[in-house]
Amino acid sequence: MDFIPYGRQWIDEEDINAVVEALKGGIITRGKWVEKFEGALAEYCGAKYCVVFNSGTSALVAAYRAVGLDRGDNFITSPITFVATANAGRVWGAGVRFGDIETDTGNLNPEGLENLIDEKTKLLVPVHYAGHPVDLEAFRKIADRHNLALVEDACHALGARYKNSKIGSAEYSDAVVFSFHPVKHITTGEGGAVLTNDRVVYKRLLMVRNNGITRNREEFLNSPDGDWYYEQHQLGFNFWLTDFQSALGYSQLKKLDFFVSHRREIAKLYSDLFKDNPYFDLPPERDYAFHSYHLYPIRLRESYKPLKGEIFKKLRQAGLGVQVHYIPVYRQPYYRNLGFKNFSLPKAEDFYLRELSLPIFPAMDDRLVEEVAKRVFNVFEELSPSSAGD
């Protein structure tokens, strides 16, 4: 059988027709599809406002600024994330601090996090790793106690729930960020979104997306000298998502519940097939959580940790597109140079040495899931016992 990637998009005829229709509509960017997609996403998540962006990265950049992050401030996030979560604050001249994680979920641990807070700390950014929500109430309490903004990096967690609240409702946070990269729950090719219930944050998101410009007369600081007049109030970028991408997002969103329930079925089948195996631990689901399984991250047992390189190579040779999520961000040369030269966090390091992501995407049927499990077992069974240590 062919190579099985760890994730991939689901695009059907309905999606293709939606894009074609948008392309034929005359206005291919900054038009009605952007607003339609934003309205549908806000309604799905139960948030007041939604602004879409041309990537999850640009959505993070805009969200951090919109909640007030500025030069000289610092913010706290998880090292077990994509580099963009940290980079998005560097763009604004803010310093980043990394907190350690929970060993089983891989999420930023709220316990002990307050030790990292000082007078320059302005923002907390927990990441819903793999689609398993962080304990949002715990983060909200910390944010309230220290007067910090709270932004959720929910790029893995569209369709997930925390208690009775949908991720994206921004019930506990100032803003929630999604990505629509093809491996994520829904795709627009590249794309992202920020959801918020705060009108001021919403207005700032619009500005950052539009090169810092407003054309709204009520917001002008000076009097217009003609009908052409507009004002730039702050630094911004061109972060617009096109209309044909928004049409794709709108069409994809209709299938989101199916995508998520199918991902959950795949995860359940994996958990049955791998139950009581001696090689690795399976991803947990806390009582408060409804997991959306962007990833299915397994964690090697102690004696298999030293063999991760070999296991990864053999899984790839067996045609499995396994991945590692993630190299702790502070290990990247850019962050090493920024002052993290001798920095490491014990639980993040341990997680990194154990974690492997198995294929999970909506087009997988039971037969394919069973095929993956069979190949995984084959690889582990063929490891030479001596190399396993104990």
- Write out the residues near ligand PLP by the rule CB under 6 A: 55-57, 81-82, 84-85, 127, 153, 155-156, 179, 181, 192
Minimum CB separation of residue 103 from ligand PLP in Å reads 19
Between 13-24 and 243-253, two packed helices, what is the crossing angle to 10 degrees? 150
Instruction: State in angstroms the smallest separation of the CB of 191 from ligand PLP.
Output: 7
Instruction: Give the Å distances, CA to CA, from 24 to 13, 20, 29, 247, 290.
Output: 16, 6, 12, 12, 39
- From the CB of 339, what's the least distance to ligand PLP, in Å? 22
The least CB distance from residue 374 to ligand PLP, in Å, is 29
Closest CA to 45 of 144, 186, 229: 186
CB of 210 to ligand PLP, least distance (A): 19
Q: What is the CA radius of gyration of the chain?
A: 22
Residue closer to ligand PLP (CB basis): 79 or 362: 79
CB nearer to ligand PLP: pick between 165 and 179: 179
Largest Cα–Cα separation, the chain: 80
Q: Which is nearer to ligand PLP, 65 or 181 (CB)?
A: 181
Nearest to 270 by CA among 369, 164, 122, 388: 369
Q: Which residues 6+ apart lie within 8 Å of 35 measured at CB?
A: none
Q: How far is the CB of 136 from ligand PLP (least distance, A)?
A: 16
Residue 46's closest CA among 154, 167, 188, 160? Answer: 167
Select 79 or 110, whichever has its Cβ closest to ligand PLP: 79
Provide the minimum distance between the beta carbon of 155 and ligand PLP in the complex, in angstroms, as a whole number.
3
The residue nearest ligand PLP at its CB is 56
| Alpha carbon distance 198, 49 (integer Å) | 8
Residue 364: CB minimum distance to ligand PLP, A: 20
Considering the complex, state which of residue 79 and residue 192 has its C-beta at the smaller distance from ligand PLP. Answer: 192
- How many whole angstroms separate alpha carbon 184 and alpha carbon 178? 9
- 192 or 362: whose CB is closer to ligand PLP? 192
Contact between 177 and 152 under an 8 Å Cβ cutoff? The reply is yes
For ligand PLP, the closer of residues 301 and 347 by Cβ is 347
* CB of 131 closer than 8 Å to CB of 294: yes
| Closer of 7 and 304 to ligand PLP (Cβ) | 7
DSSP, res 169: S
Tell me, rounded to whole angstroms, the distance of Cα 129 from its chain centroid: 7
Q: Which is nearer to ligand PLP, 207 or 295 (CB)?
A: 295
Structure tokens at 96: 């980043």
CB-CB neighbours of 216 under 10 Å: 12
Give the burial class of 141: count Cβ atoms within 10 A of its Cβ; 0-12 exposed, 13-18 middle, 19 or more buried: middle
Min. distance of Cβ 143 from ligand PLP in angstroms? 19
